[in-house]
Amino acid sequence: MQNPLRNIPSVNELLESPQLANLVDRVSHNVVVTEVRHFLDRLRDDVQSTASEMNIPTPSELAERIADWIVKAEEPPLRPVINATGILLHTGLGRAPLAKEAVQAMADVAEYASVELDLATGERSQRVAAVEKLLKELTGAEAAAVVNNNAAATLLTLAAIGRDQEVIVSRGQLIEIGGSFRLPDVMSASGTRLREVGTTNKTRIGDYEAAICENTAAMMRVHTSNFKVVGFTEEPTLAELVALGRKRNLPVIDDIGSGALIDFSKYGIHDEPIASESIKAGADLVLFSGDKLVGGPQCGIIVGRKSHVQKIAKHPMMRAMRVDKTTLAALAATLRLYRDVPTAEESLPLLARLSAPLENLRNRAERLAPQLAAAPAISRAEVIEGKTYLGGGSVPTQQIPTWCVALTPHEINVDELSKRLRMGTPAVVGRIQQDRLLLDLRSVLPHQDLAIVEAAGRIALEGKPNASTESA
């Protein structure tokens, strides 16, 4: 019997095929050669491990499979996405989209930039100078620092303020967010000893006062961003904590989590603390995220009294947690928009999507529905009213009204429709509900509507799912 391995073409024979020869213009020659060799190695392994006779594809068929495989392998895992989930601060999709001013600011400093150089004097400066003036102006704080996220801000603040001492926290505020951020563990990692006071649902100012001892470094209030305790509850106000802190000469740290620079109640989002209000109430340090309610790049922002911020900035871990020039540029551009709230509402995608009138969303949905229904892969497209959430661990109990286009697939199931839209270009991510794929326009930028229609129309051109090209 003829050895089937002899039917496998050589690397050079495959490279001469039109499919792979054309691919060299898009991908480097070395990449194509390497991937062809890997593919052939796997094919040989498959042939040798198959007990029954195996049909080897023709060189042309193999070249086509390898070309498809290389194209898919070369697609970067980090790709732009149209967020049609309705979740405005979707952690899996990068939370807040940046304003065009922030994107431009990042591009402007992509080469060399005055990150730590004072151009007027020619001497070294601090990188926080790029944003500190704006943060002081918008929050009323004496000083500011910026690190890579709010978890880092919490860890660094505790390490600088409370190492080898106790920090008092209400038992009802010992939060866990994300996959592994648990406040007790973070306090332990910072070298701070946690002193719990009160109960899960009730903590009084007297509990804090009774816990203060010679080893107390600070009192900390933590905003329970991703959960809410209701019913018989009690907790002291920030003003009460500040008064106690002044009385006992202890700093008060207010970790407001998602953070906000303006009042979000106008958008139907309530109980989110505002950084400037915390400073006004007397908090010595206020910590919050830059990529959630602020609508900027991922970072953690620390504002407060100059003496405490300087101590944090000089801590050895600060260098490990500092942000780069592009983050600083994007944050500065975002903060400048907040100098005029109407401008911020127009320019910041998060605020623009939150403030978009329901009637506007409905009109867009009604225009989109017939266009989407015309796609061969879609059987029906219906306009429906719905509810969504802010996301990013913020106000999980508060719903936001919205309008969606609900897609019923044709011939394929809803999971397959969802997958094909996700895998397309552009990638479109919706949410499945009651065997329909919902495209929620609350989180879709208006200029992306046409791209969604085009993405849905291309599904039919792809046909049914192809067999795997990873093995012959």
pTM for the whole structure: 0.87
User: Is the pLDDT reported for residue 464 higher than 80?
Assistant: no
Handedness of CA 98, 104, 105, 108 (dihedral sign): positive
Query: Is 30's pLDDT higher than 70?
Result: yes
Tell me the H-state helices in 95-170.
100-108, 129-139, 150-162
CA proximity to 377, closest of 400, 407, 346: 407
Residue 466 reports pLDDT greater than 50: no
Give CA separation, 26 vs 21, 31, 91, 202, 280, in Å. 10, 10, 32, 63, 57
Q: What pLDDT, on a 0 to 100 scale, did the predictor assign at position 53?
A: 63
Helix (H) or strand (E) run with residue 117 in it: none
In tens, the pLDDT along 441-454 reads 999 999 999 999 99
- In the prediction, which pLDDT does 455 show? 96
Phi, psi of 107, deg, nearest 5:
-65, -35
Report the alpha-carbon distance of residue 165 to residue 185 in Å, rounded.
15
Among 224-233, 279-288, 375-384, the minimum mean pLDDT is found in 224-233
396-421 pLDDT, tens digit each: 778 999 999 999 999 999 999 999 99
| CATH no. of 98-347 | 3.40.640.10
Share of the chain above pLDDT 90, in %: 73
Looking at residue 469, what is its pLDDT?
33
**pLDDT recorded at residue 468:** 33
**pLDDT digits 0-9 by tens, 221-268:** 999 876 777 788 899 999 999 999 999 999 999 999 998 999 999 999
The CATH classification number of 81-92+353-462 equals 3.90.1150.110
Per-residue burial over 232-261, b if 16 or more Cβ lie within 10 Å, else e, is eeebbebeebbebbeeeebbbbbbbbbbbb
What does the domain layout of the chain look like in residue ranges? 4-74, 81-92+353-462, 98-347
